[in-house]
A and B are shown apart, each in its own frame.
Chain A
Amino acid sequence: AQRVTQPEKLLSVFKGAPVELKCNYSYSGSPELFWYVQYSRQRLQLLLRHISRESIKGFTADLNKGETSFHLKKPFAQEEDSAMYYCALRGRQGAQKLVFGQGTRLTINP
């Protein structure tokens, strides 16, 4: 079974503080992992994926197969980072569907 768990529904940090949004997954094969973000009154959009190994808007995420985790990190939070963040998994090769976690609402306090 494919499952994505985001243990924190709400996360609040101060501007300039480090941020870590946790994501754990359950999948027997080699998954593709993604982070999607939804800003207020905007659509759900892709933030980053593990294969690209790039930093987007200062965020990075490393796939840890041993711990089956894909945590999203940013060293210095900005107010514009406030949003809903969803971790997602795409499983078996050729599968197209995304399996999403419950989401974490991140609030950056000034």
Chain B
Amino acid sequence: DTGVSQDPRHKITKRGQNVTFRCDPISEHNRLYWYRQTLGQGPEFLTYFQNEAQLEKSRLLSDRFSAERPKGSFSTLEIQRTEQGDSAMYLCASSSQGTAYEQYFGPGTRLTVT
């Protein structure tokens, strides 16, 4: 499968724990995005990378959230001191420079904070 992959697909954690998610974009795509989707809502933008540079962050991305893309390939999203309100589907997407309008989404990581 040459699409966007995310790991893990599901994560259950206790409140206060830290979690980290990984996203592997389509190999030739230099742009990578993170979105969060809660039940009954559309995806909400969290952050965007072009190569290794984090160029845009949403106000939704509190100081407990951090994202990296160290070598311009895969990306990680870490949530520290998780709260029940962090329970959501975390989606990763990627796009190429030439067709930036089309974002290819991964299957998502479903986080449940108990």
Name A's B-contacting residues (CB within 8 A). 4, 6, 9, 32, 34, 43-46, 49, 51, 86, 88, 90, 95-103
User: Known: A96-B31, A96-B48, A97-B33. Is A90-B101 also a contact (CB below 8 A)?
Assistant: yes
A15 to B66, CA, bound (A): 46
- Tell me if A103 and B42 are in contact (CB < 8 A): yes
Which residue from A45, A49, A90, A100 sits with its C-beta under 8 Å from B43?
A: A100
- Tell me if B103 and A46 are in contact (CB < 8 A): yes
Could you list 15 A-B pairs, sorted by A, with CB under 8 Å? A4-B42, A44-B91, A44-B105, A51-B101, A90-B101, A96-B31, A96-B56, A96-B100, A97-B33, A97-B48, A97-B56, A97-B58, A98-B45, A100-B43, A103-B41
Name B's A-contacting residues (CB within 8 A). 3-4, 31, 33, 35, 40-45, 48, 50, 55-56, 58, 91, 93, 95, 100-107
- Tell me if B45 and A99 are in contact (CB < 8 A): yes
A46 to B102, CA, bound (A): 7
User: Known: A32-B101, A43-B106, A46-B102. Is A98-B43 also a contact (CB below 8 A)?
Assistant: yes
Contacts of A9 in B (CB 8 A): 40
With both chains docked as a complex, state the minimum distance between the C-beta of A56 and any C-beta of chain B, in angstroms: 12
- Tell me if A97 and B45 are in contact (CB < 8 A): yes
With both chains docked as a complex, state the minimum distance between the C-beta of B78 and any C-beta of chain A, in angstroms: 20
Contacts of A88 in B (CB 8 A): 42
A9 to B105, CA, bound (A): 22
Contacts of A102 in B (CB 8 A): 40-42
A9 to B56, CA, bound (A): 30
